[in-house]
Every structure is written in C-alpha cells, then in structure tokens.
Structure 1
C-alpha cells in the first residue's frame, strides 16, 4: 500500500465511519463497572508509591507496572503464568492489582521500550488499543529512529488517554477503510534515498508525522521558523486528531452548517489559503476571533487548533484537580472566593465550569513559568469568539458520548451563548504575563 506523506487538511471524501460501531468497548468488563480513575496521579497499589503514567516499575517495591486502559489506571502486576492465546504461547501474563478479575499481557511494543499498556489475555490482539493504530514505524534497528519513536509514542499514548477518557469513537484500518492510522516516517533528507520532505498532516484518517519532530533542536528550529509560540509532539497529535474528528463528526454529521457559521466555509481552496497565509501572515486583529495565527489560515486549521486547545484545557485541568488547587489571585478588585479545581473535567458537561477553572489556572502557571525565567506556559488568549468555538467542540464530544444529537441549525445555541457570555464576563483569558 503506498504511503501518503500527508498534507495539512482533510480529503473531501464522504461516507463516514459508523460512530456506534467505532466506539471503543473498554468502559467496563464482565466483572463489574470500572473504578474511578486516578487521573494524573497514579500510585502503586502494592505500596502506595506515586508513579508516573509511563512508569514500568515501582521505584519503591520494584514491582512491574503496566497501564490498564479499561480502568484508566497504572497498575502493579504479579506474574501468573503464560498466555492462553495460541499465537502468543510463552508470553508472560500478569494479575493486575487495578483489575483482579482479568489477566493481562504487555503490548508487543513493550519489547522496544515504547509502550507500557496492557492487553487482556482473553483477547487475541498483539498490540494495545493505542499501538494497533500504527501503520508505519521507522526502521527500529537504527538507534536514532528508536529513540525518536519512543518519544513519539509517549506523546501518542497521552493523546489516547484523553480520547479514551472522552469516549470518542476510534476504529483501526482493520475495522474500517478510513479508520485512524499513523505513519511515522523518516525524512528523505536524513537518508541517502532522497525525495520530497515528509509533511506532518492528516488525510482521510491517516496521520503522518515526520519523526524529526521528536528532535528537540529541530523542533525548536521549526518553531522559530514559523513564528510559533508553542510546538510540542503532544501538541502536534492533538492538532492532527482534530482534523480526524472534523472528518468524522462534522463532515459526516449533522453540524456542518453550524461549523461554517463559526469557523467559515471549508470549501475554500486549501492550498491557496495556506499559500496566502505563509505569504501574508495573519490578518489584523486576528486575536479577536482565533486562538492562534495558524488558525486563521483556513477553517480546517481553525477547528484543529480549537480541538487541540480543548484537549489542552481538559487534560491540564484534570492534573490541577488531582492537587485540588485553590486559586485566588490577590487583585485589588478580585473575587474574595477562590476557584477550587476539585472536579473531573472528563465528566463535566458544563463548559462554564471548565473555563472558569482554566482562566485563573493559566494566569497562575504563566506567572510561575515567568518566575523561573521561562516563557509563558500557555501563551494564548481565549476571547468570546474563541470560547464559542470551544463550546462547539465541547458539544460535539458530549453528543457522541450521550448518543444525543447536538441541537443543530443555530450557531447561537444555548451552550455557545453561555460560552460567549462567560467570555464577555471574563473579558479575555488569563494574561500571558
């Protein structure tokens, strides 16, 4: 199968993925409903030592650790024999403290040090729910490729944590022709083969990434070249997955006209729009309506940038909630009541609550970052128009989760109107300091 090296943007093919069929079936098991997730603070169940999302062994009791995605937990493990799957005979199987009712084995990519996710041993899949979306990976016999790919997988697994927590529909290419797939490619300039450069982008469910983005020096060079405030592997994934969900939920759903009312007409020639953007830059006063300069280039990019920022917000607020942060900036005319971030943003249908937590949180983290001599961690402003776009993304996600269609036809729907009112009340997002 030929490899599509990708363009920023989407194909125009219709005939969408059946959402119900694609919804991941990992919310529970035959043994009962899942426990509440530990969010971003994970602990070894054997000794209570805090551990990271990517951890493979507990630093205290030295037990092996793995991520149980049907419990959203990093779990301590105990070996209990070998796999019952005929094609995996001899593969170690573990009892997971986070889910005693099932036996698990590691994803095949654990052998490369690129994955710590577990696969239930009653399933025949070799790869975990994240890695089975990979279509092309670089030649792993080359050490530099392996190093870069591991960093890419770390970011991709964090992306999938959010997608699974949000219960968004996912399907592989084995399940559906235009299912979600990833090609991680080496740029020809780094080989003796030659050819056109690898462009990071999305087309019809296929996300292509140039693995050079995993090199900190190269990524920073590109950030400076394009005049960006922010460029990370996780940011790339969150942006490109936004293109995928536009293709899945907007193009093939009932909300295309509402999208156009907020973001613009996506039928405008994409290549010409990008060419004009790179030649002329963002329009004057772009900050009033867009979250970034790149969002001004085309409605597809505006949606993808907005989707990425929605994931930034939800995931960061979740982290803050695990510390139960109380925020009350000492302003002369500030509120006497602190903002308490003690809720699970992945289960919060009220966008107001997310935004009201996010604004003082970004003010605080930007101030802390400046105190360390670093640039603002979140150098973006959320105006009323941007919050309205975030509300559109929020409604799309919750419509999929609840199987209730978004109330369409009017871009000033209740949630969007509430978002605009919130934005007007707050004026703008937290200062970037």
Structure 2
C-alpha cells in the first residue's frame, strides 16, 4: 500500500488512522481520489479543496471505530464503498465480537483499496443483486443457528467469513489443523474474492475461459469430489512443481483463487516497497538476481516480468528480515515456472479488462 502523510503537519499516517497523533486533526480517506486528508476536529462536515467541490462526511461506521472513509454528504446509504458491501455483521452487543469485527473491517478495507487500484468493478448486491458482491460476517453461533446450509467461503457473490478468523489463536489452530504455512485475514479475503472475480472475468468470456483451462485445468470436474479427495488423500504428489500451495492442487477453481491471492500479495508488497523507496543491492558476489530498485508503481506496470523480477528479491528480503527477528517467513512459498505462468495469466487478464 502507498504511504500516506498528513498535509497539515507532514506526519506519516497509517491507512487505518482516524486522528493524526501529531496535529490531532481528524483524518479521512477518499477512495475516489486515493487520498488521506486532515479534517478540522471542530466540524462534522467538510469541504476539502483537493477532493473537489463536494461536501464530505464520515461513513456511518466511523462512529463504531471501524472506518475512516469519507462519503459525499448527500450519499443516501450513509456508507462508504467498502462498508456498503456488508450484508451481515456480528452482534455488536457482545463485547467479544466488537474487536474481531474491527480487525475484519480493517482487512476488508485494505482489500477494497487494492481492488480499486486494480480498477476492478466493485458493486454491492444492494445495487446489483445478480452480479454484485457482499459479505456476511458470522459468529460460530450464527452458523449453527442457520438452517440453510451456510458455509464459509464464496457462493454467487456472497463471501461468508467466520469472525473467529480475527482471533489470532483460533487462526493459528486452524492453520495447524489444515497444515497451512500461511493464514491471515487479508489473505483469506483475497482468496475468496478471487472466486468472485473468476465468475465476473473468466466464466463470461470464452477466450478467457479457454485460456484459463489451458493453464489451470478443466474446472468442470466435480468440485465436491475433488475436495473430498484432497481432504482424504492429501495434495497431489510433487505439488510444489506446479502449484503455489497444497490447497491449490485440489481443483482448478482453488488453484485460481490461491494464485489470485498471491498475485495480490505480490502487488501490494511492491507498492509498499515503491512507497518506501526500497532498493536492494546485496553484498554478495554474483548477487544480481537479488537486486531490486522498487522505483515503479506495480499497478501501472504492463510488463509482468518486471513485476516478478522485482517481487522475488523483495519477498526473499522480507523473509530474511523476519528470520533476523526470530519470526516465521511472511512469504513461505516458492514461485515455480508453472506458477509464474498462472500469475502472468492473471496479470494480463486484469490489464486487458
């Protein structure tokens, strides 16, 4: 993600900040202009010259501490683009749900930021019931009470996520049970939204669909049976040579969603590196493969080779820095040649659309 700065005092800001800790101005994010702006705390409606002529207010969820996005004061829904995607939120009368939902919202807002940077269409199901997107954030109790076979994951534009995913302890337990090397809230969002955009970008276009099948495989094979085989017998043998993760080997749809999420990981990491002006020049003989100059915006770059050639040294450096702190690798994956081809397919698809 890009770095944000308070234009009132030049303090560096985090994407989720509501108040500048230096000058104590309120902070509001404009998704349309991709700007974080300082706001006088003595007002509740603002006109900001850099955001055009409209008058702005906070999204309604700002009062709950989960959103700092601005909306035009005449927006009838009262919600920003990211919050308008919520169909179900947990019972906030239960204190244990409040912090979990806040963590979920922070991750979802980062997801929406990135989808906007990729110029992907984001439409709520309240606007387009057939093709839109929405989120159901449910407690385990909600799931148990449901009588309609609700499951976590994606179905017809509805992404259902258990709020327990926001509990680091529970998430680590699931990670161990599923034998996963990586599991984060943001990664979970990226994976599930990948399924949604397969429906929007691949399935309706015969050329895209054929290209997908040539690279990822035939998605018409039974999804249910494929997952059952995966859970009963484990991943395909030598999966590392063709897939980004074990789970990606279960079915072409999951291969797509896993690869999609890794493409988003790569792009976000590179945008962050660009914002920080990172460069790498390892003090090693013949270390040209690990050099990096992140002097470009990945979202504006057409050449996927440049993205990958910059991303791999960056990810290697990230892993090395974490190990120096005694932490696990933030990116414990190997990008094989077949995975590179899959990532490039997604990149070219997004650039074409």
Tell me which interval the TM-score lies in, with the shorter structure as reference length: over 0.9
Q: Encode CA deviations 1:3-34: one digit per residue, 9 max, x unaligned.
A: xxxxxxxxxxxxxxxxxxxxxxxxxxxxxxxx
Structure 1 residue 195, shift from structure 2 partner: 7.0
Structure 1 residue 80, shift from structure 2 partner: 8.4
Secondary structure in 1 matching 2:40: strand
Secondary structure in 2 matching 1:257: helix
CA–CA distance in structure 2, aligned partners of residues 369 and 379 of structure 1: 11
CA–CA distance in structure 1, aligned partners of residues 142 and 46 of structure 2: 43
Give the total of aligned pairs.
Answer: 351
Find the partner of 1:332 among 282, 285, 296: 285
Using a 3 Å threshold, how does the CA distance of structure 1 residues 100 and 48 change in structure 2: closer, same or farther?
farther
Using a 3 Å threshold, how does the CA distance of structure 1 residues 114 and 336 change in structure 2: closer, same or farther?
closer
Q: Which residue of 2 aligns with 1:188?
A: 141
Using a 3 Å threshold, how does the CA distance of structure 1 residues 72 and 189 change in structure 2: closer, same or farther?
closer
Find the partner of 2:252 among 293, 299, 316: 299
| Alignment partner of 1:224 is 2:186 | no
Using a 3 Å threshold, how does the CA distance of structure 1 residues 174 and 231 change in structure 2: closer, same or farther?
same
| Alignment partner of 1:170 is 2:132 | no
Structure 1 residue 329, shift from structure 2 partner: 2.5
**Which runs of structure 2 are paired with 1:88-127 in the superposition (5 Å)?**
92-96=44-48, 98-99=50-51, 101-127=53-79
Find the partner of 2:22 among 60, 63, 68: 60
Q: Encode CA deviations 1:156-176: one digit per residue, 9 max, x unaligned.
A: 000000001111011111222
Structure 1 residue 189, shift from structure 2 partner: 8.3
Structure ranking higher in helix proportion = 2
Using a 3 Å threshold, how does the CA distance of structure 1 residues 76 and 266 change in structure 2: closer, same or farther?
same
Structure 1 residue 327, shift from structure 2 partner: 1.1
| Alignment partner of 1:245 is 2:207 | no
Structure 1 residue 323, shift from structure 2 partner: 1.4
Q: State the TM-score, normalizing by the size of structure 1.
A: 0.78
CA–CA distance in structure 1, aligned partners of residues 65 and 238 of structure 2: 46
Q: Which residue of 2 aligns with 1:15?
A: none
CA–CA distance in structure 2, aligned partners of residues 199 and 214 of structure 1: 17
Q: Indicate if the aligned counterparts of 2:291 and 2:313 stay in contact, CA closer than 8 A.
A: no
Structure 1 residue 212, shift from structure 2 partner: 0.8
Mind listing any 5+ residue stretches in structure 2 that lack a counterpart? none
Q: Which residue of 2 aligns with 1:88?
A: none
Mind listing any 5+ residue stretches in structure 1 that lack a counterpart? 1-38, 82-91, 401-433
Find the partner of 2:236 among 264, 267, 283: 283
| Alignment partner of 1:41 is 2:3 | yes
How much is the aligned-residue C-alpha RMSD, in angstroms? Answer: 2.0
Q: Indicate if the aligned counterparts of 2:282 and 2:290 stay in contact, CA closer than 8 A.
A: no
Which stretch shows the higher mean deviation, 232-241 or 139-148? 139-148
Q: Indicate if the aligned counterparts of 2:25 and 2:41 stay in contact, CA closer than 8 A.
A: no
Using a 3 Å threshold, how does the CA distance of structure 1 residues 155 and 336 change in structure 2: closer, same or farther?
closer
